[in-house]
Amino acid sequence: MKSTDSSLHTIKTFLKFGSEKNIQDLHENGTIFMNPIQYFRSFEDAELRGDLYEGISKIKNYPPGTFEIPALNFKGNYINIHLKTAYEEVLGNIYSLYCISSFAIPKPFEFSIDERVAGFGTHCLMVKDNRAFLNRMEKALQKQNLKYRHGFVTYYDRYKINGDVTLFQKPKEFEYQNEFRFYAATNNTTPLILNVGSLKNISQIVSMEDIMTLRLTYQE
């Protein structure tokens, strides 16, 4: 399994999708809106932002077998059993970015952005200085005296995985989102708003229509 340590991979750019209003606010003022994990667990939008598996701690898949009800003298078969374990309420906040990197894109010259991301909004913030952005995020979280983590999200087959699941793992259905995630260990289930300062000098706003044409090339 390849390492998820972001320092071991080349990050070309971060992309943040959203409405024109929110992307402008991010670009001009550096407003970072970190939603609580509970928000993503209950949000219903056909597996765009909403994820019923968000915050799952363990998944167990059992192979086909038989079951018996002795009192009824009955025996039957089942195809499989899929069990998931989760806390009733999961604390913490998440901020997600689309990440074009050597981690997520094994064949860079075949890369294209999946059309499903258009569901996130009409505009996109393209970060041009990834290290500066990461530093600003870290400083903003440290200023709040919060423990935090950031890194690539990996994706699993929900019907094959067996064992513990972390907050940096999601079902394979979300793999097209190429997510890089920030997690802040808060003690509540409310949004966390950070301010990292104007991003005008390290980013630019692009329409969703234009960013969907993005391709990776190289110079000989």
Residue 162's CB is within 10 A of a number of other CB atoms, namely 9
Q: Is the pLDDT of residue 135 over 90?
A: yes
Residue 210: left (phi > 0), alpha (psi -120 to 50), or beta?
alpha
Per-domain boundaries in the chain: 6-55+90-211
What confidence tens digit (pLDDT) does each residue in 80-104 have?
Answer: 788 888 777 778 999 999 999 988 8
What string of DSSP letters covers 136-178? HHHHHHHHTT--EEEEE-EEE-TTT--EE--TTEEEGGGGGG-
How far, rounded to the nearest angstrom, does the alpha carbon of residue 183 sit from its chain's CA centroid? 10
**Across residues 192-203, what is the average pLDDT?**
97
Say what the pLDDT of residue 8 is: 67
What pLDDT does residue 124 have? 97
pLDDT higher than threshold 60 for residue 2: no
Q: Does residue 35 surpass a pLDDT of 60?
A: yes
Task: Please give the angle made by the CA atoms of 183, 189 and 190, to the nearest 5 degrees.
Answer: 90
pLDDT score of 44: 53
The answer to whether residue 3 scores a pLDDT higher than 60 is no
Mean pLDDT of 157-182: 92
